[in-house]
Amino acid sequence: MLLSDFLLLAPALAAFVILMVLRRLRKPRADKIAGAGLPPNAILVDGSNVLYWGEQPSLNVVLRILRNLEDKGYTPIVFFDANVGYVLDDHYYDDAKIASLIGAPAHHVCVVDKGVVADEGILAFATDHHLRVVTNDKYRDWRVRFPHADKKGVLIGGTWRDGAVVWRGTL
């Protein structure tokens, strides 16, 4: 390879390395969840979606849904958008803060970083670990990249009615 060829390829190689590093840095902190070991009965919860199952955003609704899942024998793993604290309380909430508010172990909660699309993190984690997802989101924009979401029974919807969880379909 000539020096002139290398000089032409060097910027492209440098850009590739930078993009890979940035991608790794922007990846949701879900590694801590998987690193702690997933229970065989794990189920993923789109916390920011479930937050709105009631009439207004409510951590009480999230908490009750998580307890309902636990009563059914599941161990919820909960992902939230980076703005969850601002939705609830006008300031940032990290994993530990949300975990304490919903009564979940911190290693079962992931607040994605600012600028990271939570849907992508949720679907990547669900796909990597073959998990079902509690959400009313259909993830239509992501189904080509994450066909796991298109499988029957993977997405589990519900609603909050009269102080109780009403599941759509089979849980």
Which pLDDT belongs to residue 103? 94
Among 16-30, 32-46, 108-122, the range of highest mean pLDDT: 108-122
Residues 6+ apart with CB under 8 A from 50: 61, 62, 65, 134, 135
Helix axes 95-102, 59-71, angle to 10 degrees: 70
Distance CA 100, CA 103 (A): 5
**Mean predicted lDDT score pLDDT of the chain:** 85
Tokens of 17: 């390395």
Banded model confidence at residue 32, pLDDT cuts 50, 70, 90: low
In tens, the pLDDT along 43-54 reads 999 999 999 999
SS3 48: helix
Q: Is the pLDDT of residue 27 over 60?
A: no
pTM here?
0.81
Percent of the chain surpassing pLDDT 90:
71
pLDDT of residue 38: 87
The answer to whether 135 and 157 have CB atoms below 8 angstroms apart is yes
Q: Select the more confidently predicted residue: 171 or 92.
A: 92
Domains located in the chain, CATH noted: 3-168 (3.40.50.11980)
| Position 2 pLDDT exceeds 70 | no
